[in-house]
Structure 1
Amino acid sequence: MAARLPSWAWVTGLTAGATAVVVALAVQADAGPHPTAAAARPGPSASASPHPSASAHAPQAPELPDDSGDGRRIVYSLGAKRVWLVDATGKPIRTFPVWPGTVAPRPGRYSITLRTQSLKGSDGVEIEHVMYFTKADGVNVAFSNALDGSSPPPANGQKLGGIRLHKEDGAALWSFGDQGTRVAVVN
C-alpha cells in the first residue's frame, strides 16, 4: 500500500515549484535587453520630481505657476492646459495635460463642491471621477475622464464645462481631491 502525502507536503512542493519558475523567469528577464533612457522616458502624466533628470533628453515637467497660492491644492492653468497636484508643503507631486471644455472658469480660488463617481457627460460620453468646482456662463465646470480613456469629441457649438483628463490622471486626481479641496485657476 502506497503512503499518502499530507496536504502540507503538496502545498510546500507546489509553492517551491512556483518559486523556482518565478526565479527562472526573473533570471531570463534580467539577461534580456534593457530599455535605454530614451525609450524609458516618462509620458505627459509623469510626476514632478525635485531632482533634475540625469538625461539631457528627458522632458522637464512644466514649473508650477507662481501665482497659484500655497498649501495643498489642485492648480489648473488655462493657458498651459495643465493641472498640478500640490501637497501641503507646496511641492507639486504630479502634473498632467488636460483637454478643456468650451467654457472656461475665471482665474481665481475655488474648492471641490461635489464629487460624482460616474455619469453621462453633457457631450453624451460616459465619464468618471467627476469633480465639480465652479460654474461659468451657467455651465458647471468639472474635472473628469472618459470611461474608455478617449479624448473628448468635438464640441459642435455646445457649451461644455468639462475639463477632461487621461484615465490614469483622472484616477490620481480623484484620489487626491476630496470635497473641499482647494482649486486654483490661473492664466
Structure 2
Amino acid sequence: MPARRLPSWAWVTGLTAGAIAAVVVLTAQAENGPHPTASAAKRPNASASASAKPPASPKPSASPQAAGVPAESGAGRRVVYSLGQHRVWLVDADDTARRSFTVWPGTVNPAVGSYTVSLRKDALKGSDGVQIEHVMYFSVASGVNIAFSNAVDGSSPPPAAAGARTGGIRMAKADGTALWAFGETGTKVRVVE
C-alpha cells in the first residue's frame, strides 16, 4: 500500500495550532517575568521666548563646586565672568565663591578686564523683546551696553537674529536674584577668558 499524503489544509491547521500554542506559552512567561519601567519625561516649560532651538548652554547650576574661581580673576569681593566657560562666580572678600552658575551670553562680549557695576535697573524690556529684571550694567563694547540680567519668566533667551548685536548676559531667575542681592552699584566685575 502506498503512503498516504496529508491534505494541505491539515498541514496549515497543524502549523497554526502549534504557533498559537507557542504564543500562549511565551505570553505566560512574559507575564511572570520582570517588567521595565518607563522614566517620566520632563515637559518643556512654556515661555514667552520659546524657540525651535534648544538653549545655547547647559541649564544653569548654582553650585560653587561646579568650577573653581579662575586664578587670575583678582582679589576681594567681586563678580567674575568667564567668557570661555559662560560662567559667573559671586566671590566674597575672603576669595571664597559664594555661588557659581552658567549664563547665556549676548552676541557682543566685553573685553577682558576690570569693571564696576555702573547702573542697576529693576526691570525693562530687553533688546530681544523679552521682559527682563535684575539688570546690572558694567561695560560698553562696540557701542553695545553689556549687562547681567534674567528673564522675568525664567526662560533662556531666544537665538539672536542674524546680525543682531546684543550685550545681555542672561541667567536663570534664581541666579539673577542672587546676583542682584550680591552686586550693588560700584561692585567690582572681573571679566576673564
Partner of 1:181: 187
Partner of 2:104: 99
Looking at structure 2, the residues matched to 93 and 114 of structure 1 have their Cα atoms a distance apart, in angstroms, of: 23
CA contact (8 A) 2:118 2:136 kept: yes
Q: Does 1:148 align with 2:164?
A: no
Looking at structure 1, the residues matched to 62 and 144 of structure 2 have their Cα atoms a distance apart, in angstroms, of: 31
Counterpart residue type for residue 81 of structure 2: Y
Q: Does 1:162 align with 2:171?
A: no
Identical pairs, percent: 64
SS in 2 for 1:116: strand
SS in 1 for 2:62: coil
Cα offset, 1:103, TM superposition: 0.1
Partner of 1:126: 131
TM-score (norm 2): 0.68
State the 4+ residue runs in structure 1 displaced beyond 3 angstroms.
none
- Cα separation, partners in 2 of 1:148 and 1:91, compared to 1, 3 Å: same
Cα offset, 1:44, TM superposition: 4.4
Partner of 1:26: none
Q: Does 1:46 align with 2:52?
A: no
CA contact (8 A) 1:45 1:94 kept: no
SS in 2 for 1:84: strand
Partner of 1:81: 86
SS in 1 for 2:66: coil
CA contact (8 A) 2:123 2:131 kept: yes
Partner of 1:69: 74
SS in 2 for 1:153: coil
Looking at structure 2, the residues matched to 46 and 108 of structure 1 have their Cα atoms a distance apart, in angstroms, of: 24
Q: Which protein has the larger Cα radius of gyration, Structure 1 or Structure 2?
A: 2
SS in 1 for 2:175: helix
SS in 2 for 1:171: helix
Q: Give the unaligned 5+ runs of structure 2.
A: 1-58
CA RMSD of aligned residues (A): 1.1
TM-score (norm 1): 0.70
Cα offset, 1:154, TM superposition: 1.0
Q: Give the unaligned 5+ runs of structure 1.
A: 1-42, 49-59
CA contact (8 A) 2:61 2:100 kept: yes
